[in-house]
Structure 1
Amino acid sequence: MTRKIKETLRQDHGSRLKKCLFRLVPLLETLQNYTRFDFISDMIAGTTVGLTMLPQSIAYAALAGLTPQCGLNSAFVGVFVYLFFGTTREVFIGPSSLMAILTYEYTKDLTNDHVILLTFICGCVELAMSLLRLGFLVELISVPVSSGFTAATSIIIVVSQLKGLLGISYKASNFLDNFVQIAQRLPQAHYGDVLVGVTGCVSLLFLRKLKDFSSVNKKSKIVSKIFWFLSTGRNALIVLIFSSIAHYYKTTTNKVPFTLSKGANGGLPRLELPPFETHMNNRTIPLKEMVQDLGAGVFIIPIVSVLANISIAKAFANGGMVRATQEMFTLGICNIANSLFQAMPSCGAFTRSAVASASGIRTSVANLYSGAVVMLGLHFLSPYFQYIPRSTLSAVLICACIFLIETDLVPLLWKENKMNLFTFLITIALSLCFGVEIGLLIGVVCDACYLLYLWARPDMVLEFQDTVTNPYILVRPNMGFFFPAVNYVYSTVNKIAITKGQSRFPFVFDCVNFKRADYTAVKGLVLLSKDFQRRGQELYFINVSNSIVSFCATLKSPLKCFRDRTEMELTICGAKMDPINKTEVTVINEVANEKDNSDKDEFETLMLSKL
């Protein structure tokens, strides 16, 4: 018997251990049922995403003011880590436009060592957030705020890339300064760069539309598949074409009629610890000063990257559950690993996820093939990165970012909720004028203030009810009842009872939406009841939750609570009801059903038309 118990305990322990291991490393569960069809689908999707990531990584590194290798390093490290710990198959960790612009914002006058340290700190913050289970904080950022933040970031990127498109050089401190600098230097625009950039933009937009081609006959389906592949790999295709033109000019005439990008060191990066001190302006800068130089970026960037990653996971979860804590843990490990390979901060990107989904991805194993493609590019193509035209990279970034601006959201919010539209627009405006971190912060504050206003000023349904003998007034607040709403509800109910109820009609307070209440709210109900007593006017509470009933019983307050409307109407009409006890609290029946029973009754008219 003892042996059987031990074996059972051992099996239970092994089962729990296996479950924990599978939750920590989802790849193990994926491999259990991995099929040949999964292998083929993942290889196609991973290779396609890898080809997309190569030019994207170079462009995003340029946007952050870094070398191409810095972007490519983050492209292959992140996907290998996410392969083991990631929970959403469509997510591919790597450089993104959002991370690039934020990295540039906080490190534009600093060294590469600052960027690598920032990557390490971002990973540590994200890891700490996951260990503290702070995934719920992401829910505090609403869609209008996140969309406004993304739109502002996209606008900043587009404007900042106009200098590459025009072939001019300058340093701008902010978004508005960019406009001034472009206007001043517009006569200096280089026609070769303008031609390459505009041609690149037009070609990218045209190729983007090719994926919409479809036909029913078999021959056209083959053409459709070719068009889809050209559309999906358009970034790599355009970069390859213009790089080949640049290489031709360089080898034949030794003179290229447009500006080229920076070169990159060949081979894979070496593994080393992130720098905890650096040298700048002929002096050594210690760790503390480096962190101070990075400022709010050590908090803003990890929070934004978590928000972006979880948003992508939700978008492709198809209604399934997203493990926010595991996603934060994985992102933290990715960025810590990135810092060991001299890479920039990274997260998921909607463009990569969309390509993966359209390519028929089956599991997260596709990350393996994507990382392999990037590694091959780093090893064999590094000497050729110097031939990529700068205006081509600008065209890639501009054409990627303009579609992140959700213009269709404006008429929708205008029609449905103007306060949300205000939050959306104020987030964009402040992000453009004062920086994206200020815009994000004020957007969240606006949302919080709006929520507080809704709680402090709940809508109240006011109705007049006829019973067999006695009419009564019913009021039903549409939200929960907490301290911000106490004064408003207290004064409004008293005013209605006096002016509309003529201080004589019984008053019924429907608590169907009050699942719980705090001390201030319950005290407000007690004071309200005493006011009615002084006027000699009846006040009844229906659909009261157990928590409020017990709270009132503890306070020994003279509230008359009923389980539902039917029970209350029987009492008003003179039916004798036996109280549970003889305390001052008259609890006719404890709440057994939280459902709003008022839907069963037919309300004749509103109070204003009845009195």
Structure 2
Amino acid sequence: METNSSSKWKTRLNKFLLRRLPICSWISSYTKEDALCDLIAGITISLTMIPQSIAYAALAGLSPQYGLNSAFMGCLIYVFFGTIKEVVIGPSSLMALLTYQYTYNLNVDFVILLCFLCGIVELIMGLLHLGFLVGFISAPVVSGFTTATSIIIVVAQLKGLFGLYFKSLGFVDNVMQVFNNLSQLRLGDTILGISCIIFLLLMRQLKEIKLPEKMPKRKLLKNTFWFLSTARNASIVLITSLISMAYESKGLNTPFITTKHVESGIPNFQLPPIKSEIGNQTYTFIEMVPELGSGYIIIPVVAVLANVAIAKAFARGTVDATQEMLTLALCNIFGSCFQSMPTCGAFTRSAVISASGVRTPFACLYSAAITLLALAFLGPYFHYIPRSTLAAVLIAAVIFLIDWEIIVPLYKSNRFDLLILIATLLGCLGLGIEIGMLIGVIISLMQLIYKWARPGISVETTKCNSGTYKTITPQNDLYFPSVDYISSFIMKNSCSNDGNVLPVLIDCSKIKGSDYSTAKSMATISKVFEKRGQSILLANVPENILKIWKSAGCADSQFCGKEQVENSLFGMPIERKRITEDKNHYGDHNSAEEIRELVDKNPNYRN
């Protein structure tokens, strides 16, 4: 007995480790070939991640080192706890923009605390298995939200692209400030920024060049084009930084604005700040949290949504959403101990590392190592990076996240979904990101509730040897929002075109779920039909629904299978009655109580 008990515990522990520590499932079979492929993928992704992290830090209103601080801990954690080899945790344009939205008037302590709180919320979501909530955010909402954030980011980067100095309070204010300050436009920054965007867009297309099949060294040339295209961000940052260095080495002022001075060195481990000072005011932890508004709720939801979406896009099987949430939580909790801003995965990084031939999540370890080396030794050189170059890197990346392609299919197939997209987009641009997303979610839920309240129902008149009857078939599950509608519909369609009362068969074969409110309504309708001397049957009711409906008062004699329909309907005499002046009144009475009152008051409906 003890041996069996011990064996069960070992099996359970094994399953738990494989599920919650996925590295255990592949590390034992890790080969030299895997290591080489992961090394190449890790180096490649770091060439994309390092310059983008610096740009994302600028977008969040932070110094470059905070972008790099955010780029290594998530990678290290994901090696051990991640389930999808293509996911690379780090700063992203979405996280940077949201971080700026909630902390633009605060100092970096609040950003680090926000990262920690996001991790805690994600951890709670994971432990409570709340990943299903993400499913309530529909594709049009996600598309509208992503498009809006991309537009906001592009407009926000125009300031750096044109060398302007101003502070803005949102998208509309940003647009106005850009136009108001165009007279202050710096020619050097503008020329450099636009040139960088053109370079990045051209280099992006380099890997798409089709070479002749019989061309000598075609594979080598194709791989070279791909590598140059992938490393385009690092290339443009390096080239423009060298130009800045050349100006400074000759004692000349650079014709464009460069990045702030960055302190070199790997950040020390320290717990997230529980107090901070802004000017002469000291904030305690309890005072800091309200200053972050709803950021520690909105950002984790968006991060989980992004991460699960990426995981589903690249996974070759089912995605463990709970494990992804728990992993993301650990990335942010531990990241905050190394002065990180909120992080998540990014489609651009996943696409790059996937194309690089990644074999396992171990590739993230190499990326983290290169980022740490950059922090340790390259800090002083980040000062030479032009601000307009970073703006160009961001603009060239996010313009491809604007989802134009979805508009035509939505217009042709479902214009209400298009309305949801537009409402989300305009809400995000005009009222703020979190309000816009909330508007989209609320409209989507209202649409869903409306469909529950107005389920599809088909009606047909069936003639058989024994007589004629009406078949009413609900096409969806029946729950309490649809009770009044179903009751009214059945009453209105319980007679023939000439007004004769007919037996009614409710075919429940397509109903997979129901509740007590619906069951109670069915029992009430049955009593109404009984008073009128009219037969009503419930056919093909699934077992799980049968129990609920019987408990609400539906008699056993009302249920039947397909074979018993005629016998059950015509086995007893049925009086055919004429519905006179009150024929159409059923449509005006929506509740079961009103239907009962109508029947009791009208002798035409009684025996």
TM-score, scaled to structure 2 = 0.91
Residue 153, structure 1, aligned to residue 142, structure 2: no
- Partner residue, 1:427: 424
- Partner residue, 1:236: 234
Structure 2 unmatched ranges of 5 or more:
574-607
Residue 510, structure 1, aligned to residue 507, structure 2: yes
- Secondary structure in 1 aligned to 2:271? coil
- Secondary structure in 1 aligned to 2:473? strand
- Secondary structure in 1 aligned to 2:344? coil
Distance in 1 of aligned mates of 2:560 and 2:529 = 21
- Partner residue, 1:107: 103
More displaced, 469-478 or 385-394?
A: 469-478
Q: Is the 2:523–2:553 contact (alpha carbons within 8 Å) kept by the matching residues of 1?
A: no
For residue 273 of structure 1, report the CA deviation from its aligned partner.
Answer: 1.4
Distance in 1 of aligned mates of 2:557 and 2:353 = 61
1:340-359 correspondence to structure 2 within 5 Å: 340-359=337-356
The match for 2:8 among 5, 8, 12 is: 12
The match for 1:464 among 461, 464, 468 is: 461
- Secondary structure in 2 aligned to 1:473? strand
- Partner residue, 1:212: 208
Given the superposition, is the C-alpha separation of residues 563 and 40 from structure 1 closer, same or farther in structure 2, using an over 3 Å criterion? farther
Residue 402, structure 1, aligned to residue 394, structure 2: no
- Secondary structure in 2 aligned to 1:171? coil
For residue 322 of structure 1, report the CA deviation from its aligned partner.
Answer: 1.0
Distance in 2 of aligned mates of 1:245 and 1:556 = 84
Residue 166, structure 1, aligned to residue 162, structure 2: yes
- Partner residue, 1:39: 35
For residue 133 of structure 1, report the CA deviation from its aligned partner.
Answer: 1.7
Distance in 2 of aligned mates of 1:177 and 1:251 = 39
Distance in 1 of aligned mates of 2:137 and 2:383 = 41
The match for 2:278 among 277, 280, 299 is: 280
For residue 375 of structure 1, report the CA deviation from its aligned partner.
Answer: 1.1
Residue 440, structure 1, aligned to residue 437, structure 2: yes
Q: Is the 1:260–1:386 contact (alpha carbons within 8 Å) kept by the matching residues of 2?
A: yes
For residue 120 of structure 1, report the CA deviation from its aligned partner.
Answer: 1.0
1:486 alignment partner AA? V
User: Deviation string for 1:184-224 (max 9, x for gaps)?
Assistant: 11122111111111111111111111121233235222211
Distance in 1 of aligned mates of 2:497 and 2:60 = 65
Distance in 2 of aligned mates of 1:425 and 1:361 = 38
Distance in 2 of aligned mates of 1:464 and 1:417 = 31
- Secondary structure in 2 aligned to 1:93? coil
1:327 alignment partner AA? E
Distance in 2 of aligned mates of 1:192 and 1:40 = 43
- Partner residue, 1:592: none
User: Deviation string for 1:246-295 (max 9, x for gaps)?
Assistant: 11111124210111111211111111111100111212211111111111
Q: Is the 1:214–1:220 contact (alpha carbons within 8 Å) kept by the matching residues of 2?
A: no
Distance in 2 of aligned mates of 1:314 and 1:259 = 41
Residue 190, structure 1, aligned to residue 186, structure 2: yes
Q: Is the 1:148–1:424 contact (alpha carbons within 8 Å) kept by the matching residues of 2?
A: yes
- Partner residue, 1:551: 548
- Partner residue, 1:250: 248
Q: Is the 2:520–2:553 contact (alpha carbons within 8 Å) kept by the matching residues of 1?
A: no
Given the superposition, is the C-alpha separation of residues 68 and 501 from structure 1 closer, same or farther in structure 2, using an over 3 Å criterion? farther
For residue 574 of structure 1, report the CA deviation from its aligned partner.
Answer: 4.9
User: Deviation string for 1:311-336 (max 9, x for gaps)?
Assistant: 11111113x11111111111111111
For residue 564 of structure 1, report the CA deviation from its aligned partner.
Answer: 3.2
Given the superposition, is the C-alpha separation of residues 83 and 501 from structure 1 closer, same or farther in structure 2, using an over 3 Å criterion? farther
1:429 alignment partner AA? L
The match for 1:337 among 334, 338, 343 is: 334
- Secondary structure in 2 aligned to 1:262? coil
Q: Is the 1:99–1:345 contact (alpha carbons within 8 Å) kept by the matching residues of 2?
A: yes
Distance in 2 of aligned mates of 1:500 and 1:560 = 28
Q: Is the 1:214–1:221 contact (alpha carbons within 8 Å) kept by the matching residues of 2?
A: no
- Partner residue, 1:77: 73
Q: Is the 1:175–1:432 contact (alpha carbons within 8 Å) kept by the matching residues of 2?
A: yes
User: Deviation string for 1:542-563 (max 9, x for gaps)?
Assistant: 1112233333433443464444
For residue 534 of structure 1, report the CA deviation from its aligned partner.
Answer: 3.0
- Secondary structure in 1 aligned to 2:70? helix
1:411 alignment partner AA? V
- Secondary structure in 1 aligned to 2:86? coil
Distance in 1 of aligned mates of 2:504 and 2:34 = 66
For residue 149 of structure 1, report the CA deviation from its aligned partner.
Answer: 1.0
Q: Is the 2:131–2:321 contact (alpha carbons within 8 Å) kept by the matching residues of 1?
A: yes
More displaced, 273-282 or 564-573?
A: 564-573
Q: Is the 2:466–2:566 contact (alpha carbons within 8 Å) kept by the matching residues of 1?
A: no
For residue 175 of structure 1, report the CA deviation from its aligned partner.
Answer: 0.4
- Secondary structure in 2 aligned to 1:344? coil
Distance in 1 of aligned mates of 2:296 and 2:569 = 63
Q: Is the 1:74–1:346 contact (alpha carbons within 8 Å) kept by the matching residues of 2?
A: yes
More displaced, 381-390 or 248-257?
A: 248-257
Residue 491, structure 1, aligned to residue 485, structure 2: no
For residue 575 of structure 1, report the CA deviation from its aligned partner.
Answer: 10
Distance in 2 of aligned mates of 1:70 and 1:266 = 11
- Partner residue, 1:314: 312
- Partner residue, 2:293: 295
Residue 478, structure 1, aligned to residue 475, structure 2: yes
- Secondary structure in 2 aligned to 1:295? coil
For residue 572 of structure 1, report the CA deviation from its aligned partner.
Answer: 4.0
Residue 378, structure 1, aligned to residue 396, structure 2: no
Q: Is the 1:455–1:485 contact (alpha carbons within 8 Å) kept by the matching residues of 2?
A: yes
Q: Is the 2:72–2:369 contact (alpha carbons within 8 Å) kept by the matching residues of 1?
A: yes
Give percent identity, aligned residues only.
47
Structure 1 unmatched ranges of 5 or more:
577-611
Distance in 2 of aligned mates of 1:493 and 1:559 = 20
Residue 128, structure 1, aligned to residue 111, structure 2: no
For residue 497 of structure 1, report the CA deviation from its aligned partner.
Answer: 1.7
User: Deviation string for 1:59-85 (max 9, x for gaps)?
Assistant: 000000001000101101110011111
Distance in 2 of aligned mates of 1:97 and 1:144 = 20
Q: Is the 1:473–1:501 contact (alpha carbons within 8 Å) kept by the matching residues of 2?
A: no
- Secondary structure in 2 aligned to 1:464? strand
- Secondary structure in 2 aligned to 1:372? helix
The match for 1:565 among 557, 562, 565 is: 562
- Partner residue, 1:609: none
- Secondary structure in 2 aligned to 1:285? strand
- Partner residue, 2:196: 200
Q: Is the 1:135–1:324 contact (alpha carbons within 8 Å) kept by the matching residues of 2?
A: yes
User: Deviation string for 1:450-475 (max 9, x for gaps)?
Assistant: 11000101121122222223122211
The match for 2:83 among 82, 87, 101 is: 87
Distance in 2 of aligned mates of 1:575 and 1:232 = 79
Residue 267, structure 1, aligned to residue 265, structure 2: yes
Distance in 2 of aligned mates of 1:226 and 1:367 = 23
1:460 alignment partner AA? I
Q: Is the 1:471–1:506 contact (alpha carbons within 8 Å) kept by the matching residues of 2?
A: yes
1:292 alignment partner AA? P
For residue 297 of structure 1, report the CA deviation from its aligned partner.
Answer: 0.7
Q: Is the 1:540–1:559 contact (alpha carbons within 8 Å) kept by the matching residues of 2?
A: no
- Secondary structure in 2 aligned to 1:541? strand
For residue 501 of structure 1, report the CA deviation from its aligned partner.
Answer: 6.9
Distance in 2 of aligned mates of 1:514 and 1:12 = 40
2:193 alignment partner AA? G
- Partner residue, 2:597: none
Distance in 2 of aligned mates of 1:391 and 1:558 = 76
Q: Give the superposed CA RMSD.
A: 1.7
User: Deviation string for 1:31-75 (max 9, x for gaps)?
Assistant: 011122211111111111111110000000000000100010110
Distance in 2 of aligned mates of 1:547 and 1:490 = 21
User: Deviation string for 1:333-373 (max 9, x for gaps)?
Assistant: 11111111111111111110010111111110111111111
Distance in 1 of aligned mates of 2:363 and 2:498 = 69
